[in-house]
Each structure stands twice: as structure tokens, then as C-alpha cells.
């Protein structure tokens, strides 16, 4: 029963945080929504911030389970079979696919709003949506070069150019609740065109045998 009550408190708090913003929701608001005393919540969470900490923890665990920033299996085979444009496009589209998943819509909105006042959330967002994707794209580009493709700029510069619109779309869509059912097809097409444009602008003729 205790675990069930704790989960009910957690889910209710998440719903309210997502709709009204963390700072605009009180423990009393959460308690009122599920018709319990505010003091009952403290049996499960010592303070409101503890609920936010759990949002970050669960979101982090879910992303690990999803493997969003993991190196694709058989990366070399994928690059040779599909080409760099297709592989890079798939990496860029992972955050869009994440937003389409109803399971992630609420935590995404909570953490993107919470970054402005919560250091733990800022660290989480930096690691999961900047540092790890950047390392992944850099690794893929290094493999691209080793397999015989060449691009006329630094790996760091090309990585930044590829990731820039992904971050913009991710934050814009997640912060606007009217975009719960946003046109993912249009965004996917735009990102694919972006990757195609950046890759073709940066790449040169391969040296030696084509992969």
C-alpha cells in the first residue's frame, strides 16, 4: 500500500509540474489533487525537491535502458551499407522519436523547464543531451574518416553543426505543451535535409577505394 501511495503521489506531482511548472506547484496542491493530507506526502518524500530528484533519476535510467546515446551495433557495417548521411540522420532523429513517446513527454517538459533553477537538472541535461550525443557523433565521424570518407573541416566543428538544430527543436517542442502532437514528419524531414546539406557541404571525394 505504501509503495502504491508513493507512486500515486509521484505521478500526480509529475502531471502538475508538467502543466503548471515546478515552482508553481505546492505540496498542498499535490495533496489536494489526490485527496490526502499534505503531511502524508512527507511520509514518502521529505520535501518537494525530492520528487524532482526522482524525476531526473527515473528519466536517466529510462534513457540508459533505451540506449539513445549508445554506439550503434555493427557501426562500420551500417556506415558501409547505408552511408554516413543515413547513419547521422538516424542519430539526429533520436530526440524527436523520444518526444513522440508518451512515456517521455512529461519528464522532458519538467526537466527542460527545471534547468533554470535546479543544478542537478542542468547537469543531467548537459550530460544526456549535449555531452553524450556530442561524443557519439564525434565517434561516428571518426569511424567515417577511417572508412575512407573525408570532410573538409574539423570533427568538432562538423559535430556542432549537425547537432545545433536538434537541440533547438528538442527544447522548443518540449517547452510548448501545444506541441504534444507536433508534426513529427515535418521535423524529421527538416532534420534529414539539414544533415544532408551539412554533410555534402563538408565532404570531399573519397581518397582511394570507395567503402
- What's the topology of domain 2-41? Arc Repressor Mutant, subunit A (1.10.10)
- Per-residue pLDDT, 207: 38
- The residues with which 151 forms a beta bridge, in sequence order, are 203
Residues 6+ apart with CB under 8 A from 180: 105
- Parse the chain into domains and list their residue ranges: 2-41, 52-204
- Per-residue pLDDT, 78: 95
- Determine the Cα–Cα distance for residues 16 and 11; give it in Å rounded to an integer: 9
pLDDT tens, N- to C-terminus, the chain (211 residues): 455 899 999 999 999 998 898 999 999 999 999 999 999 999 999 999 999 999 999 999 998 898 888 998 899 999 999 999 999 999 888 877 777 777 888 898 888 888 788 888 889 888 888 899 999 999 999 999 999 998 889 999 999 999 888 777 666 665 554 455 566 777 788 888 999 999 999 986 443 344 4
For the chain, the distance separating the N- and C-terminal CA atoms, rounded to the nearest angstrom, is: 60
Which among 125, 170, 175, 172 is positioned nearest to 19, based on CA atoms?
175
Q: What is the 3-state secondary structure (H, E, C) of the chain?
A: CHHHHHHHHHHHHHHHHHHHCHHHCCHHHHHHHCCCCHHHHCCCCCCHHHHHHHHHHHHHHHHHHHCCCCCCCCHHHHHHHHCHHHHHHHHHHHHHHHHHCHHHHHHHHHHHHHCCCCHHHHHHHHHHHHHHHHHHHHHHHHHHHHCCCEECCCHHHHHHHHHHHHHHHHHHHHHCHHHHHCCHHHHHHHHHHHHHHHHHHHEECCCCCCC
- Per-residue pLDDT, 37: 94
- Determine the Cα–Cα distance for residues 207 and 204; give it in Å rounded to an integer: 9
Chain centroid, CA 203 distance in Å: 28
- What's the topology of domain 52-204? Tetracycline Repressor; domain 2 (1.10.357)
* pTM strictly above 0.75: yes
- Per-residue pLDDT, 208: 39
Amino acid at each position: 500500500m505504501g509503495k502504491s501511495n508513493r507512486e500515486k503521489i509521484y505521478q500526480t506531482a509529475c502531471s502538475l509540474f508538467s502543466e503548471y511548472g515546478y515552482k508553481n506547484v505546492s505540496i498542498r496542491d499535490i495533496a489536494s489533487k489526490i485527496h490526502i493530507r499534505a503531511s502524508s506526502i512527507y511520509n514518502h518524500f521529505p520535501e518537494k525537491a525530492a520528487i524532482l530528484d526522482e524525476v531526473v533519476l527515473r528519466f536517466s535510467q529510462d534513457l540508459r535502458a533505451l540506449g539513445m546515446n549508445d554506439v550503434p551495433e555493427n557501426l562500420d557495417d551500417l556506415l558501409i551499407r547505408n552511408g554516413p548521411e543515413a547513419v547521422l540522420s538516424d542519430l539526429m532523429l533520436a530526440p524527436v522519436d523520444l518526444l513522440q513517446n508518451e512515456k517521455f513527454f512529461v519528464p522532458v517538459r519538467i526537466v527542460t523547464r527545471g534547468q533554470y533553477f535546479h543544478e542537478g537538472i542542468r547537469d543531467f541535461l548537459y550530460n544526456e543531451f549535449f555531452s553524450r550525443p556530442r561524443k557519439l557523433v564525434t565517434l561516428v565521424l571518426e569511424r567515417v574518416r577511417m572508412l575512407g570518407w573525408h570532410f573538409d573541416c574539423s570533427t568538432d566543428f562538423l559535430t556542432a553543426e549537425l547537432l545545433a538544430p536538434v537541440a533547438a527543436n528538442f527544447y522548443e517542442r518540449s517547452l510548448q505543451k501545444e506541441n504534444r502532437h507536433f508534426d513529427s514528419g515535418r521535423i524529421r524531414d527538416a532534420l534529414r535535409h539539414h544533415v544532408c546539406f551539412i554533410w555534402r557541404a563538408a565532404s570531399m571525394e573519397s581518397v582511394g577505394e570507395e567503402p
